[in-house]
Chains A and B, each alone.
Chain A
Amino acid sequence: MAVKTVIEAIREGMDEEMARDESVFLIGEDVGNRGGVFLATDGLYKKYGALRVIDSPLAESCIVGVAIGAAVNGMRPIAEIQFADFIAPAMNQIIEEAARFCYRTAGDFNLPMVIRAPWGGGVHGALYHSQSIEATFGHIPGLKVVVPGTPADAKGLLKAAVRDPDPVLYLEHKRTYRLVKGDVPTGDHVVPIGKADVKREGKDLTLIAYGLMLTYCLEAAETLAAEGVSAEVLDLRTIKPIDQAAIVATAKKTGKVLVVHEDNRFAGIAAEVMAIIMENAFDTLDAPVMRLTGPDVPAMPFNQVLEEAFMPNVDKILAKARELAAY
């Protein structure tokens, strides 16, 4: 065990996978000599050379397209989209090609590739450096979407993503990069895709979150405990395939659930989680399932006051959780 930041855990994960398997390589904007804008790939260019750490043109469609071609030919690419906000030009490659490849070939071909993308707000990044894309891509069959929130999960899920036979969209919340520190198990630490994790046990209500909101929910749970409310915190970790069993289990346990995400509200992940609960745990509910989300506005504002208004934070989570506890 060693305490690491999220960004260190991701770098370590890639390093170990590249060392373990020669078919693993990196491709993205500035991932090479510069080590990535967040220094996620720092030092890897020196260690593995220009053939395994490839600086791409500023063309996301190309980055993903090259990765797809390589994966079909037996490689295991880790493609980086510099900011999740820039992924739109690669939509066609991801949705129409990567996600369907296995289905289209009736299972003859798999596409073992990872697309890493830093996402989320709270870093004063404004419109083009703050977006949440998990609901958009979670909607696409054939694609796996993971959203680690802690260093241990970041490393473990990265390794699982690299080894997965299908395309995995690996979303790393940029606010957590250096904010969230935690123990990372030594050795070959792999976290299975599709498994949520109870990060804190509780009995009065459940907070369901992922990414940065997980950290906020854990903080809120601490305050709630001081107020006499025992809050369970479930970290989804994977958006697709979502862990239905874990969601239903915690809903049945506490009977009161609040789902938190910073993505826009309409048709967001919270809506899906709530539907799962209604379909499977209705008889055990003690209150309407609630959600706290970002608003339905086009993007994160630059103005700090407006950014704070957009982002859920600990205070907002507390207010909503108290409402749920009192119901």
Chain B
Amino acid sequence: MASVKMPQLGESITEGTISKWLKQPGDQVKKYEGLVEIITDKVNAEVPAPLAGILKEIKVKEGTTVTVGTEIAVIEETVTAGATQRPAPAAPTETAAAVPQDSPSPVLGEGRGGGSDSRTRLSPAVRALIEEHRISDAELSRIEGSGIGGRVSKKDVEDFVAKRTQPATANGEQRQTVAPAAAPPAPTPGTTIPLSPMRRAIAANMLKSKQTIPHAWTVAEVDMTSVVRFRQTAKDSFKQREGIDLTFVPIIVKAVVEGLKAVPVLNASWSEQGVVLHKDINIGVAVSVDDGLIVPVVHQADRMSISGLAKAIDDLAKRARAGKLGIPDVQGGTFTVNNPGTFGTILSYSIIAPPQAGILAMDAIVKRPVVVEGDAIAVRSMMNLCLSFDHRVLDGVSAARFLQGVRRWLEGFSEQVPLY
């Protein structure tokens, strides 16, 4: 007997809600096969079975929230010599008799039905069908592969879809994992909106941050004219080459990375043992989604070009809106960039996401008359960068030096700065 515990699905996550059991007591489960869907405040995740066996008991009902580490199910391990559990042959064949009992038979079909490579290696046709019929990973794992090595063939998927659509009502609800989340009902004044797990998580995190972190706030005004001009000239070729839009965000993130390199104490976390300076620069980028806000992380942003950042951010944002972020995508951030400026704000006082030490808001880029060199007045594209920082970790001087670095990098922007 082995117990399955509520996993730690993120560093700041303390509890999770059982959304759906994919297996029922008595069901045979394969190792790594989807066992249960869990909703946490950051992501929804399918938890794989830690070992092969029979699901003996479900300890936590669907819809219940429990803390990390709580036992949620019990699996009875299947005791077999081989790695895969295949049904015992009805009668021993000649070859089976010739093979010593404890050596796994070296046949092609070794991985049939198991989580082997040939299952996960899907042909383009199968991928297209999965997309078209919105087949979830859990459903895919239930499709019996008839191809060599257990490969799931086009026919297997077609057969599965045919079976699925026949008793539409019986199986319909299994599709909820991929169906896009229903838009929240329009709020009616005078009623109470129930708290979604994400809403709760945001609330708890923000409260914790405000209660434990002494926020300090400082603003720098940046002349973005060079960046705006550059983007104007480069955006078409960029779109053609990379297939995505060149926005200001990756450029700002690049500037932030440069600033953090110059002021490493801002890429840090407070702890009672001391200020932990992080080796990697992992930038969280706030993305607004239907029912709240999520902050996926660009890991090792200091190793990326602007186009690399653009791609990474575009990918994360798309997956965030599709509800397809994985746990690693939201973990490990060391600093956050927020972009309220797209909504026209000019001064933003963001709340730090613990255990980070700072968050930078890019506010709107607006054309304003500015006094430039030689006391002339010119029309320039101006933007405010607002930094909230943990005053336990660093002081105003370091914070200002960081903003100074970011500002200089942006104002000194020219075509010489490599895009790719």
Which of the segments A3-11, A151-159, A279-287 contacts the partner chain?
Answer: A279-287
Would you call B151 and A327 a contact (CB within 8 A)? yes
B residues 334-357 touching A (CB-CB < 8 Å):
none
Across the interface, A327 reaches (CB within 8 A) one of B124, B127, B147, namely B147
For B128, the chain A residues whose CB sits under 8 A away are 283-284
For B126, the chain A residues whose CB sits under 8 A away are 286
For A327, the chain B residues whose CB sits under 8 A away are 147-148, 151, 153
Would you call A283 and B155 a contact (CB within 8 A)? no
For B148, the chain A residues whose CB sits under 8 A away are 326-327
A-facing mask of B118-154, CB < 8 A → 1, else 0? 0000011111100000000000000000011001011
For A112, the chain B residues whose CB sits under 8 A away are none
| Secondary structure class of chain B's binding surface, majority of residues | helix
Residue of A nearest to B122 (CB): A286
A residues 103-126 touching B (CB-CB < 8 Å):
none
Q: Whole-angstrom distance between the alpha carbons of A287 and B149 in the complex?
A: 13
Q: Whole-angstrom distance between the alpha carbons of A326 and B147 in the complex?
A: 5
B-facing mask of A6-29, CB < 8 A → 1, else 0? 000000000000000000000000
For the A-B complex, the count of residue pairs with Cβ-Cβ distances under 8 Å equals 30
Shortest distance from the beta carbon of A255 to any chain B beta carbon, whole Å: 4
Q: Which bracket fits the contact residues of A?
A: 10 to 19
Shortest distance from the beta carbon of B59 to any chain A beta carbon, whole Å: 42
Q: Does A204 contact B (CB under 8 A)?
A: yes
Q: Whole-angstrom distance between the alpha carbons of A285 and B128 in the complex?
A: 10
Would you call A284 and B125 a contact (CB within 8 A)? yes
Shortest distance from the beta carbon of B354 to any chain A beta carbon, whole Å: 45
Shortest distance from the beta carbon of A203 to any chain B beta carbon, whole Å: 9
| Given A204-B155, A327-B153, A282 and B147 contact (CB-CB distance below 8 Å) | no
For A286, the chain B residues whose CB sits under 8 A away are 123-126, 153-155
Shortest distance from the beta carbon of B158 to any chain A beta carbon, whole Å: 10
For B155, the chain A residues whose CB sits under 8 A away are 204, 286
A-facing mask of B298-331, CB < 8 A → 1, else 0? 0000000000000000000000000000000000
For A285, the chain B residues whose CB sits under 8 A away are 123-125
A-facing mask of B145-170, CB < 8 A → 1, else 0? 00110010111000000000000000
Shortest distance from the beta carbon of A133 to any chain B beta carbon, whole Å: 35
Would you call A255 and B125 a contact (CB within 8 A)? yes
A residues 271-315 touching B (CB-CB < 8 Å):
282-287
For A282, the chain B residues whose CB sits under 8 A away are 124
Shortest distance from the beta carbon of A232 to any chain B beta carbon, whole Å: 14
Q: Whole-angstrom distance between the alpha carbons of A204 and B153 in the complex?
A: 11
Residue of A nearest to B123 (CB): A286
Would you call B153 and A284 a contact (CB within 8 A)? no
Would you call A283 and B125 a contact (CB within 8 A)? yes
Q: Whole-angstrom distance between the alpha carbons of A284 and B147 in the complex?
A: 17
Shortest distance from the beta carbon of B155 to any chain A beta carbon, whole Å: 7
Residue of A nearest to B153 (CB): A286
For A287, the chain B residues whose CB sits under 8 A away are 123, 153
| Given A284-B124, A285-B124, A255 and B154 contact (CB-CB distance below 8 Å) | yes
Residue of A nearest to B147 (CB): A327
For B123, the chain A residues whose CB sits under 8 A away are 255, 285-287
For B153, the chain A residues whose CB sits under 8 A away are 286-287, 327
Which of A255, A284, A286, A287 is packed against the most chain B CB atoms within 10 Å? A286
Q: Whole-angstrom distance between the alpha carbons of A286 and B155 in the complex?
A: 9
B-facing mask of A191-207, CB < 8 A → 1, else 0? 00000000000001000
For B147, the chain A residues whose CB sits under 8 A away are 326-327
Shortest distance from the beta carbon of B240 to any chain A beta carbon, whole Å: 21
Which of B125, B127, B128, B155 is packed against the most chain A CB atoms within 10 Å? B125
Q: Whole-angstrom distance between the alpha carbons of A282 and B148 in the complex?
A: 20
Residue of A nearest to B146 (CB): A326
B residues with a Cβ closer than 8 A to A are 123-128, 147-148, 151, 153-155
24 of the cross-chain contacts (CB-CB < 8 Å) are A204-B155, A255-B123, A255-B125, A255-B154, A282-B124, A283-B124, A283-B128, A284-B124, A284-B125, A285-B123, A285-B124, A285-B125, A286-B123, A286-B124, A286-B125, A286-B126, A286-B153, A286-B154, A286-B155, A326-B147, A327-B147, A327-B148, A327-B151, A327-B153
Known: A285-B123, A326-B147, A327-B148. 6 other contacts (CB 8 A): A255-B123, A284-B124, A286-B123, A286-B153, A326-B148, A327-B151
Which 8 residue pairs of A and B lie closest in terms of their CB atoms, listed nearest first?
Answer: A286-B154, A286-B125, A255-B125, A286-B123, A283-B124, A255-B154, A284-B125, A285-B124
